[in-house]
A and B are shown apart, each in its own frame.
Chain A
Amino acid sequence: MNLILLPLFLILIVQLSIKRKKSINNKSKCQLPHVPNYLHWDGNTIVNSFFHGEKLYWRRSLKEISNDNPFTTITLADISMNRSGKSGLLFSTAKDSLIDITKGLPAYYENCGVIELCVEKSNYHKIAKKTFIDPLTVDKNENQYIVEMYLVHDPLCCNSAHSMFRFKYDGQFVRFEDYKNSFGTDKPKSIKRLRSICKDELCKMIISRIVDFD
Protein backbone atom coordinates (compact mmCIF):
# COMPACT_ATOMS: atom_id res chain seq x y z
CA MET A 1 0.00 0.00 0.00
CA ASN A 2 2.78 2.42 1.00
CA LEU A 3 4.64 1.59 -2.19
CA ILE A 4 1.59 2.60 -4.20
CA LEU A 5 1.03 5.84 -2.31
CA LEU A 6 4.69 6.93 -2.31
CA PRO A 7 4.89 7.89 -6.05
CA LEU A 8 1.59 9.77 -5.79
CA PHE A 9 2.91 11.65 -2.76
CA LEU A 10 6.13 12.55 -4.61
CA ILE A 11 4.16 13.80 -7.64
CA LEU A 12 2.05 15.98 -5.33
CA ILE A 13 5.16 17.49 -3.70
CA VAL A 14 6.74 18.24 -7.11
CA GLN A 15 3.53 19.88 -8.35
CA LEU A 16 3.26 22.02 -5.22
CA SER A 17 6.88 23.15 -5.52
CA ILE A 18 6.36 24.08 -9.20
CA LYS A 19 3.28 26.12 -8.27
CA ARG A 20 5.19 27.86 -5.48
CA LYS A 21 8.14 28.58 -7.79
CA LYS A 22 5.75 30.03 -10.34
CA SER A 23 4.08 32.30 -7.83
CA ILE A 24 7.47 33.46 -6.50
CA ASN A 25 8.60 34.20 -10.08
CA ASN A 26 5.41 36.11 -10.74
CA LYS A 27 5.77 38.23 -7.62
CA SER A 28 9.55 38.81 -7.76
CA LYS A 29 10.88 42.05 -9.21
CA CYS A 30 11.39 42.23 -12.93
CA GLN A 31 15.11 42.16 -13.78
CA LEU A 32 14.88 42.58 -17.53
CA PRO A 33 16.53 45.86 -18.66
CA HIS A 34 14.55 46.13 -21.90
CA VAL A 35 11.17 46.07 -20.16
CA PRO A 36 9.90 49.58 -19.34
CA ASN A 37 9.20 50.30 -15.68
CA TYR A 38 5.48 50.73 -16.16
CA LEU A 39 5.27 47.08 -17.25
CA HIS A 40 6.88 45.87 -14.00
CA TRP A 41 4.19 44.34 -11.82
CA ASP A 42 4.06 45.31 -8.16
CA GLY A 43 2.90 41.81 -7.25
CA ASN A 44 -0.49 42.89 -5.98
CA THR A 45 -2.55 44.90 -8.44
CA ILE A 46 -5.00 42.86 -10.45
CA VAL A 47 -7.81 44.75 -12.16
CA ASN A 48 -10.26 42.13 -13.31
CA SER A 49 -12.64 44.62 -14.84
CA PHE A 50 -12.18 46.02 -18.29
CA PHE A 51 -13.08 49.51 -19.41
CA HIS A 52 -15.49 50.27 -22.21
CA GLY A 53 -13.32 51.31 -25.14
CA GLU A 54 -10.20 49.75 -23.69
CA LYS A 55 -7.81 48.23 -26.22
CA LEU A 56 -6.47 44.70 -26.26
CA TYR A 57 -3.22 44.07 -28.12
CA TRP A 58 -3.00 40.54 -29.49
CA ARG A 59 0.43 39.58 -30.83
CA ARG A 60 0.21 37.19 -33.78
CA SER A 61 2.68 36.08 -36.42
CA LEU A 62 2.60 37.96 -39.72
CA LYS A 63 1.54 34.72 -41.39
CA GLU A 64 -1.47 34.50 -39.08
CA ILE A 65 -2.34 38.16 -39.58
CA SER A 66 -2.22 37.88 -43.36
CA ASN A 67 -4.33 34.72 -43.27
CA ASP A 68 -7.75 35.28 -44.86
CA ASN A 69 -9.51 33.11 -42.31
CA PRO A 70 -8.50 33.43 -38.63
CA PHE A 71 -10.51 30.27 -37.82
CA THR A 72 -7.78 28.10 -39.35
CA THR A 73 -5.20 28.90 -36.66
CA ILE A 74 -7.25 29.60 -33.53
CA THR A 75 -6.96 27.28 -30.53
CA LEU A 76 -8.74 27.81 -27.23
CA ALA A 77 -5.79 27.46 -24.90
CA ASP A 78 -3.48 30.17 -23.60
CA ILE A 79 -4.79 33.10 -25.57
CA SER A 80 -2.64 35.90 -24.24
CA MET A 81 -2.79 39.57 -25.00
CA ASN A 82 -1.96 42.91 -23.40
CA ARG A 83 -4.53 45.37 -22.15
CA SER A 84 -4.13 49.09 -22.69
CA GLY A 85 -5.95 50.35 -19.60
CA LYS A 86 -7.47 53.79 -19.80
CA SER A 87 -6.46 57.33 -18.92
CA GLY A 88 -5.54 57.33 -15.24
CA LEU A 89 -4.76 53.63 -15.26
CA LEU A 90 -2.58 52.96 -18.31
CA PHE A 91 -1.10 49.50 -18.61
CA SER A 92 0.62 49.30 -21.98
CA THR A 93 0.89 50.41 -25.59
CA ALA A 94 0.61 48.27 -28.73
CA LYS A 95 4.37 47.93 -29.26
CA ASP A 96 4.86 46.61 -25.70
CA SER A 97 3.25 43.36 -26.74
CA LEU A 98 6.25 42.71 -29.00
CA ILE A 99 8.68 42.64 -26.06
CA ASP A 100 9.92 39.13 -25.40
CA ILE A 101 10.07 38.58 -21.63
CA THR A 102 11.07 34.93 -21.89
CA LYS A 103 14.68 35.84 -22.68
CA GLY A 104 17.16 37.68 -20.47
CA LEU A 105 18.69 39.74 -23.23
CA PRO A 106 16.81 42.60 -24.83
CA ALA A 107 14.59 40.71 -27.21
CA TYR A 108 11.60 41.48 -29.36
CA TYR A 109 9.35 39.15 -31.27
CA GLU A 110 10.28 39.16 -34.94
CA ASN A 111 7.91 38.54 -37.83
CA CYS A 112 5.00 39.40 -35.58
CA GLY A 113 2.34 42.06 -35.69
CA VAL A 114 -0.32 43.28 -33.29
CA ILE A 115 -4.06 42.99 -33.73
CA GLU A 116 -5.83 45.77 -31.85
CA LEU A 117 -9.22 44.87 -30.42
CA CYS A 118 -11.60 47.26 -28.70
CA VAL A 119 -13.62 46.20 -25.64
CA GLU A 120 -17.31 47.02 -25.81
CA LYS A 121 -18.73 46.53 -22.35
CA SER A 122 -21.06 48.94 -20.69
CA ASN A 123 -20.75 47.71 -17.12
CA TYR A 124 -17.25 48.16 -15.70
CA HIS A 125 -18.09 46.30 -12.49
CA LYS A 126 -19.31 43.21 -14.28
CA ILE A 127 -16.83 40.40 -14.97
CA ALA A 128 -16.19 40.00 -18.70
CA LYS A 129 -17.83 36.64 -19.22
CA LYS A 130 -19.90 34.90 -21.90
CA THR A 131 -21.72 31.60 -21.57
CA PHE A 132 -22.29 29.22 -24.47
CA ILE A 133 -24.72 26.31 -24.59
CA ASP A 134 -24.81 23.73 -27.35
CA PRO A 135 -27.69 24.92 -29.60
CA LEU A 136 -28.59 21.42 -30.83
CA THR A 137 -29.17 19.95 -27.35
CA VAL A 138 -30.79 22.95 -25.73
CA ASP A 139 -34.35 21.68 -26.25
CA LYS A 140 -33.59 18.00 -25.88
CA ASN A 141 -33.32 15.85 -22.78
CA GLU A 142 -29.63 15.30 -23.34
CA ASN A 143 -26.60 16.19 -21.29
CA GLN A 144 -26.25 19.94 -21.28
CA TYR A 145 -22.68 21.08 -21.86
CA ILE A 146 -21.78 24.65 -21.05
CA VAL A 147 -18.60 26.56 -21.82
CA GLU A 148 -17.78 29.90 -20.25
CA MET A 149 -15.46 32.40 -21.82
CA TYR A 150 -13.67 34.92 -19.59
CA LEU A 151 -11.48 37.89 -20.24
CA VAL A 152 -9.14 38.14 -17.26
CA HIS A 153 -6.26 40.32 -16.17
CA ASP A 154 -3.34 37.96 -15.50
CA PRO A 155 -0.28 40.13 -14.75
CA LEU A 156 3.21 38.67 -14.98
CA CYS A 157 6.34 39.86 -13.20
CA CYS A 158 7.61 41.69 -16.32
CA ASN A 159 4.27 42.36 -17.95
CA SER A 160 1.63 43.94 -15.76
CA ALA A 161 -0.66 44.33 -18.79
CA HIS A 162 -0.85 40.61 -19.53
CA SER A 163 -4.45 39.45 -19.98
CA MET A 164 -6.05 36.27 -21.23
CA PHE A 165 -9.10 34.81 -22.82
CA ARG A 166 -9.81 31.73 -20.75
CA PHE A 167 -12.37 29.02 -21.36
CA LYS A 168 -13.99 27.12 -18.52
CA TYR A 169 -15.51 23.75 -19.21
CA ASP A 170 -16.76 21.29 -16.61
CA GLY A 171 -15.61 23.61 -13.81
CA GLN A 172 -12.01 23.68 -15.06
CA PHE A 173 -10.14 26.29 -17.04
CA VAL A 174 -8.83 24.84 -20.29
CA ARG A 175 -5.05 24.88 -20.38
CA PHE A 176 -2.62 24.16 -23.19
CA GLU A 177 -1.39 21.00 -21.42
CA ASP A 178 -4.83 19.44 -21.16
CA TYR A 179 -6.42 20.89 -24.30
CA LYS A 180 -6.92 17.42 -25.78
CA ASN A 181 -8.74 16.24 -22.67
CA SER A 182 -11.03 19.25 -22.69
CA PHE A 183 -11.62 20.08 -26.35
CA GLY A 184 -9.90 17.24 -28.24
CA THR A 185 -11.25 15.70 -31.42
CA ASP A 186 -12.44 12.52 -29.67
CA LYS A 187 -14.94 14.40 -27.49
CA PRO A 188 -18.76 14.20 -27.67
CA LYS A 189 -20.49 16.10 -30.48
CA SER A 190 -21.72 18.77 -28.08
CA ILE A 191 -18.19 19.62 -27.01
CA LYS A 192 -17.05 19.88 -30.61
CA ARG A 193 -19.91 22.24 -31.35
CA LEU A 194 -19.04 24.35 -28.30
CA ARG A 195 -15.41 24.39 -29.39
CA SER A 196 -16.51 25.65 -32.81
CA ILE A 197 -18.69 28.32 -31.16
CA CYS A 198 -15.80 29.60 -29.04
CA LYS A 199 -13.41 29.65 -31.99
CA ASP A 200 -16.03 31.39 -34.11
CA GLU A 201 -16.48 33.96 -31.36
CA LEU A 202 -12.74 34.73 -31.45
CA CYS A 203 -12.86 34.79 -35.25
CA LYS A 204 -15.66 37.36 -35.12
CA MET A 205 -13.59 39.49 -32.72
CA ILE A 206 -10.60 39.43 -35.07
CA ILE A 207 -12.70 40.30 -38.12
CA SER A 208 -14.71 43.08 -36.45
CA ARG A 209 -11.88 44.16 -34.10
CA ILE A 210 -14.49 44.36 -31.34
CA VAL A 211 -14.68 42.39 -28.08
CA ASP A 212 -18.31 42.50 -27.12
CA PHE A 213 -19.25 41.38 -23.60
CA ASP A 214 -22.73 42.79 -23.31
Chain B
Amino acid sequence: MMPSPAICSTQEIYHTHIFNDNRTEYDKKYKDVTADLTYLKTIFYSNYLNRLDTLFHEFIAENNEITENQISVLNRTLSYLQSFVSQNYILINDIKIDMAVDAEVLVYRKSVKGLYNIVIDTDGDVMTSFSGYKEKGWRNFYDKDEFKPSAHINDFFSI
Protein backbone atom coordinates (compact mmCIF):
# COMPACT_ATOMS: atom_id res chain seq x y z
CA MET B 1 0.00 0.00 0.00
CA MET B 2 1.42 3.33 -1.04
CA PRO B 3 1.67 5.89 1.77
CA SER B 4 -0.36 9.01 1.36
CA PRO B 5 1.77 12.00 0.37
CA ALA B 6 0.20 14.00 3.13
CA ILE B 7 1.38 11.59 5.77
CA CYS B 8 5.08 12.06 6.42
CA SER B 9 7.08 12.51 9.54
CA THR B 10 7.97 15.92 10.90
CA GLN B 11 11.61 14.95 10.62
CA GLU B 12 11.26 14.22 6.90
CA ILE B 13 9.58 17.55 6.28
CA TYR B 14 12.25 19.31 8.30
CA HIS B 15 15.13 17.68 6.32
CA THR B 16 13.52 18.39 2.96
CA HIS B 17 12.92 21.96 3.95
CA ILE B 18 16.48 22.51 5.16
CA PHE B 19 17.91 20.78 2.09
CA ASN B 20 15.83 22.89 -0.25
CA ASP B 21 16.75 25.98 1.64
CA ASN B 22 20.47 25.14 1.43
CA ARG B 23 20.16 24.16 -2.16
CA THR B 24 18.51 27.46 -3.02
CA GLU B 25 21.14 29.33 -1.09
CA TYR B 26 23.89 27.32 -2.71
CA ASP B 27 22.46 27.86 -6.20
CA LYS B 28 22.11 31.54 -5.53
CA LYS B 29 25.69 31.86 -4.29
CA TYR B 30 26.97 29.73 -7.15
CA LYS B 31 25.16 31.95 -9.63
CA ASP B 32 26.61 35.05 -7.97
CA VAL B 33 30.14 33.68 -8.03
CA THR B 34 29.81 32.57 -11.65
CA ALA B 35 28.49 35.97 -12.59
CA ASP B 36 31.37 37.64 -10.76
CA LEU B 37 33.90 35.38 -12.46
CA THR B 38 32.41 36.01 -15.86
CA TYR B 39 32.47 39.71 -15.17
CA LEU B 40 36.09 39.57 -13.98
CA LYS B 41 37.03 37.45 -16.97
CA THR B 42 35.47 39.98 -19.30
CA ILE B 43 37.35 42.83 -17.70
CA PHE B 44 40.55 40.83 -17.61
CA TYR B 45 40.49 39.75 -21.25
CA SER B 46 39.29 43.08 -22.57
CA ASN B 47 42.12 44.82 -20.70
CA TYR B 48 44.43 42.07 -21.75
CA LEU B 49 43.60 42.34 -25.42
CA ASN B 50 43.56 46.10 -25.24
CA ARG B 51 47.06 45.85 -23.90
CA LEU B 52 48.33 44.48 -27.21
CA ASP B 53 46.42 47.17 -29.04
CA THR B 54 47.86 49.79 -26.69
CA LEU B 55 51.35 48.39 -27.23
CA PHE B 56 50.88 48.72 -30.98
CA HIS B 57 49.76 52.35 -30.80
CA GLU B 58 52.39 53.30 -28.24
CA PHE B 59 55.08 51.70 -30.38
CA ILE B 60 54.02 53.60 -33.49
CA ALA B 61 53.86 56.88 -31.56
CA GLU B 62 57.33 56.33 -30.09
CA ASN B 63 59.02 55.35 -33.36
CA ASN B 64 58.76 58.08 -35.96
CA GLU B 65 60.94 56.28 -38.47
CA ILE B 66 58.54 53.34 -38.84
CA THR B 67 57.32 53.04 -42.45
CA GLU B 68 53.75 52.56 -43.71
CA ASN B 69 54.69 49.09 -44.94
CA GLN B 70 55.95 48.16 -41.47
CA ILE B 71 52.80 49.52 -39.80
CA SER B 72 50.60 47.51 -42.14
CA VAL B 73 52.50 44.23 -41.61
CA LEU B 74 52.83 44.82 -37.85
CA ASN B 75 49.09 45.43 -37.62
CA ARG B 76 48.32 42.18 -39.48
CA THR B 77 50.80 40.29 -37.33
CA LEU B 78 49.45 41.59 -34.03
CA SER B 79 45.83 41.10 -35.09
CA TYR B 80 46.54 37.46 -35.78
CA LEU B 81 48.41 37.00 -32.49
CA GLN B 82 45.59 38.76 -30.65
CA SER B 83 42.91 36.48 -32.13
CA PHE B 84 45.05 33.44 -31.37
CA VAL B 85 45.52 34.57 -27.78
CA SER B 86 41.82 35.23 -27.19
CA GLN B 87 40.82 31.84 -28.57
CA ASN B 88 43.43 29.89 -26.67
CA TYR B 89 43.68 31.91 -23.43
CA ILE B 90 47.42 32.21 -23.80
CA LEU B 91 49.39 34.71 -21.80
CA ILE B 92 50.54 37.48 -24.06
CA ASN B 93 52.96 39.10 -21.65
CA ASP B 94 55.75 37.29 -23.49
CA ILE B 95 55.09 39.11 -26.76
CA LYS B 96 57.42 42.06 -27.17
CA ILE B 97 57.81 44.68 -29.86
CA ASP B 98 61.07 46.49 -30.47
CA MET B 99 63.01 48.44 -33.07
CA ALA B 100 66.44 47.18 -34.20
CA VAL B 101 69.38 49.42 -35.07
CA ASP B 102 68.77 49.17 -38.81
CA ALA B 103 65.11 50.23 -38.39
CA GLU B 104 63.65 46.71 -38.54
CA VAL B 105 60.55 46.16 -36.41
CA LEU B 106 60.81 43.08 -34.21
CA VAL B 107 57.97 41.09 -32.73
CA TYR B 108 59.42 38.38 -30.55
CA ARG B 109 58.84 35.85 -27.86
CA LYS B 110 61.37 34.11 -25.67
CA SER B 111 60.57 30.59 -24.50
CA VAL B 112 62.48 27.96 -22.59
CA LYS B 113 63.66 26.59 -25.94
CA GLY B 114 64.88 29.81 -27.50
CA LEU B 115 63.93 33.02 -29.26
CA TYR B 116 61.24 33.38 -31.93
CA ASN B 117 61.78 36.54 -33.97
CA ILE B 118 59.51 38.16 -36.55
CA VAL B 119 61.64 40.77 -38.32
CA ILE B 120 59.83 43.33 -40.49
CA ASP B 121 62.19 45.41 -42.62
CA THR B 122 61.49 48.91 -43.92
CA ASP B 123 59.90 47.52 -47.12
CA GLY B 124 57.52 45.40 -45.04
CA ASP B 125 59.22 42.13 -46.01
CA VAL B 126 59.28 39.58 -43.23
CA MET B 127 61.88 37.20 -41.85
CA THR B 128 60.71 34.67 -39.28
CA SER B 129 63.44 33.01 -37.31
CA PHE B 130 63.98 30.69 -34.41
CA SER B 131 67.25 30.68 -32.47
CA GLY B 132 67.45 27.74 -30.11
CA TYR B 133 69.52 27.33 -26.95
CA LYS B 134 70.09 23.68 -27.79
CA GLU B 135 68.03 23.02 -30.90
CA LYS B 136 69.18 24.02 -34.34
CA GLY B 137 67.47 27.19 -35.51
CA TRP B 138 65.80 28.11 -38.77
CA ARG B 139 64.64 31.17 -40.72
CA ASN B 140 62.19 31.94 -43.51
CA PHE B 141 61.54 34.93 -45.72
CA TYR B 142 58.29 36.34 -47.07
CA ASP B 143 57.53 39.19 -49.39
CA LYS B 144 55.20 41.70 -47.69
CA ASP B 145 52.28 40.81 -49.99
CA GLU B 146 52.80 37.07 -49.59
CA PHE B 147 53.11 37.12 -45.80
CA LYS B 148 50.10 35.40 -44.19
CA PRO B 149 50.35 35.38 -40.38
CA SER B 150 47.85 32.51 -39.99
CA ALA B 151 50.03 30.31 -42.18
CA HIS B 152 53.52 31.62 -41.50
CA ILE B 153 53.60 32.33 -37.77
CA ASN B 154 51.11 29.76 -36.51
CA ASP B 155 53.92 28.15 -34.47
CA PHE B 156 54.73 31.40 -32.65
CA PHE B 157 53.30 30.14 -29.35
CA SER B 158 54.13 26.48 -29.73
CA ILE B 159 57.92 26.81 -29.74
Contacts and interface: CB of A to CB of B under 8 A. Distances in A.
Interface size band for A:
20 to 34
Interface in A45-78: 68-69, 71-75
SS class of chain A's interface: helix, strand, loop or mixed?
helix
B115 interface: yes
Nearest to B110: A68
A74 B119 CA distance: 13
Given A69-B96, A136-B143, A192-B122, A200 B114 contact: no
B122 A71 contact: no
Interface string B124-155: 01010101111001010101000000000000
Interface stretch (B23-31, B48-56, B75-83, B101-109): B101-109
Q: Interface majority SS on B: helix, strand, loop or mixed? A: strand
Interface residues of B, number: 29
B133 A185 contact: no
B98 interface: yes
Nearest to A189: B123
Interface string A133-160: 0011000000000000000000000000
Nearest to A205: B131
B135 to A, nearest CB: 9
Interface of A: 68-69, 71-75, 135-136, 183, 185, 189, 192-193, 195-197, 199-200, 203-204, 207-208
